Every structure is written in structure tokens, then in C-alpha cells.
């Protein structure tokens, strides 16, 4: 997928070893010192060719995301939102500038490092749910743990915990076709949570839902943020943005705080 795409692609099935981030614990911070930002972006650009023209998807983005933020990114279609989410998710590299996840430069890190980051440190949620229809809710969530090489017992425990956190403890054996749209998106959120990530990135997570189901998902996301999970959400929906602690707007490759 190119940076021109309006939706990011799930790439969480790589075979890799565990890292300390896999435990889900935030980096230690000395008493009396503020927590370091999760993300630090400095003068980030992303350009690509589209037929006979050069598109400047991002044009000098400076941004910090701190632990516990619930940040939404709004803006017009084609304004660079999904491009930015791809870069935050270690799915693409900037043309220039620096993107730090903790102390790791996502623009210069090797492929193996980026694979481990995607598998253990970042949870992804997509507009289209991306569930495998022949698998149960529990089996779909368990798929995210394939790279972690955990014991069967620990995987089962984590899956049960993740489903319980999104209110689906009693739906583990249900297949996607037996669940409502809101329930399917909650399974997708549980799949992101089961890795115990540092940050969750969501691309239009309520875009396919009606108002009632949207509010259901927002309650889940709000609850997770209240527990300390850092969220970055791309959305066109002002109702989603109103729940956030930070509202950002990205247009013509430039970002601004609202």
C-alpha cells in the first residue's frame, strides 16, 4: 500500500521474538520528572508520485503524543491523515524529518526492529474490522499473539482478559457473522489490546457504524483511555473528536491543534 491510500493495512503477523514492550508496561520515569513523549515528530514530510505530479502528503509536521493522550486527527479527505497514521504505525517511512517512538527512530530503524514494534508496541484498529469470518471472536483476538511465542495458557488468559475489557466475555465462541457491527469492532479492539501495546492507532473506527453503535465504541475507547491507554484516532466524526483530550486538524500536509 502506498502513502496515498486512505486506509492503513494491518501487518501484525510476523514471526519475531518478544521485547520488553510485550509486557504492556510503560517505560519507567524517575519520580518528579514528566513522562517522555511516546511519539516525537520533527519536520516530517512525506512525498510521493501520483502519475505525473508530486504529492506532498505531509509538509513539515511537528507533533508530540504523550502517555495517556486521547488525540483525534480530523481534516479533509486527502489531507494526509492516513499517511500520518501509517508513519506512526511504522508501516511507512518519512521522506524527511524524524519520527521517534520512545528512543527509536522509525525512519531509520531496520526492518526487524519495525516488525517487533508493530507486533508488540502498537495496536491497530481499522474501519472495516478485518476479522476472519471463519474464526470465533476468541480465535480472531488470539491471532494477534502469533508473533509473541507465548504458552497456550498465557494466550488463553490474555484473550479472555482482552474480550472482558471490551465487554464481550460471553461472546468468545461467536463468529463475526453472529455479532453486531459494534460487537465486531469491539472484537477488533480486543485484538489490538491483547498485545498490551503502548499506543493504539485507529483509522475511522466508527466509520461503518450507526449512531448507537458508534457511541458504544466510543464508550469502550474512553474507558481504555481512562485506564491509561494512549489513543490516536483518525476520524471525520465530530462526535468522536469531542471525546478526545486533544483535537488535531491535518490539512494540506500541515497539522494544527484545535
**What domain count does the chain have?**
1
CA 166 to chain centre: 16
So what's the pLDDT on residue 78? 85
Residue 118: which of 140, 147, 94 has the closest Cα?
147
Residue 115: which of 226, 36, 14 has the closest Cα?
14
Residue 56: which of 89, 97, 99, 111 has the closest Cα?
97
- Domain for residue 242, yes or no? yes
Q: What is the span of the domain harbouring residue 124?
A: 68-91+110-257
Q: How confident is the model at residue 34 (pLDDT cuts 50, 70, 90)?
A: low
CATH of the domain at 138: 3.40.50.300
CA 177 to chain centre: 24
Segment 62-92, tens digit of pLDDT: 999 999 999 999 999 888 999 999 999 999 9
- Domain for residue 26, yes or no? no
Q: What is the mean pLDDT of the chain?
A: 87
> Percent of the chain scored above 90 by pLDDT?
78
Residue 89: which of 110, 126, 114, 71 has the closest Cα?
114
**What residues contact residue 162 under an 8 Å CB cut-off, 6+ apart?**
141, 190, 191, 193, 194
What is the arithmetic mean of pLDDT over 42-46?
97
Predicted TM-score of the model (pTM):
0.84
Q: What is d(CA 76, CA 79) in angstroms, rounded to the nearest whole number?
A: 5
Checking if the pLDDT of 31 tops 70, the result is no
Q: What is d(CA 163, CA 79) in angstroms, rounded to the nearest whole number?
A: 34
Segment 158-178, tens digit of pLDDT: 999 999 999 999 999 999 999
- Domain for residue 24, yes or no? no
Checking if the pLDDT of 2 tops 60, the result is no
- Domain for residue 140, yes or no? yes
- Domain for residue 38, yes or no? no
- Domain for residue 12, yes or no? no
- Domain for residue 226, yes or no? yes
Amino acid at each position: 500500500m502506498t502513502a496515498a491510500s486512505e486506509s492503513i493495512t494491518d501487518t501484525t503477523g510476523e514471526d519475531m521474538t518478544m521485547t520488553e514492550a510485550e509486557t504492556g508496561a510503560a517505560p519507567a520515569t524517575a519520580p518528579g520528572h514528566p513522562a517522555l513523549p511516546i511519539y516525537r515528530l520533527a519536520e516530517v514530510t512525506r512525498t510521493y508520485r501520483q502519475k505525473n505530479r508530486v504529492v506532498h502528503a505531509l509538509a513539515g509536521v511537528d507533533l508530540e503524543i504523550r502517555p495517556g493522550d486521547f488525540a483525534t486527527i480530523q481534516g479533509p479527505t486527502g489531507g494526509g491523515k492516513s499517511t500520518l497514521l501509517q508513519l506512526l504505525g511504522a508501516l511507512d517511512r518519512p521522506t524527511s524529518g524524524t519520527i521517534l517512538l520512545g528512543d527509536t527512530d522509525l525512519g531509520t530503524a531496520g526492518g526487524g526492529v519495525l516488525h517487533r514494534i508493530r507486533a508488540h508496541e502498537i495496536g491497530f484498529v481499522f474501519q472495516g474490522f478485518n476479522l476472519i469470518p471463519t474464526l470465533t471472536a476468541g480465535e480472531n483476538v488470539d491471532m494477534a499473539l502469533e508473533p509473541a511465542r507465548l504458552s497456550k495458557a498465557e494466550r488463553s488468559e490474555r484473550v479472555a482478559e482482552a474480550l472482558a475489557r471490551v465487554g464481550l466475555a460471553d461472546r468468545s465462541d461467536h463468529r463475526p457473522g453472529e455479532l453486531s457491527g459494534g460487537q465486531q469492532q469491539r472484537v477488533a479492539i480486543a485484538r489490538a489490546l491483547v498485545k498490551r501495546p503502548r499506543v493504539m492507532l485507529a483509522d475511522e473506527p466508527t466509520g461503518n457504524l450507526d449512531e448507537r453503535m458508534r457511541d458504544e465504541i466510543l464508550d469502550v475507547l474512553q474507558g481504555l483511555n481512562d485506564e491509561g491507554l494512549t489513543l490516536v484516532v483518525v476520524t471525520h466524526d465530530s462526535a468522536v473528536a469531542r471525546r478526545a483530550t486533544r483535537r488535531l486538524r491535518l490539512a494540506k500536509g500541515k497539522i494544527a491543534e484545535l
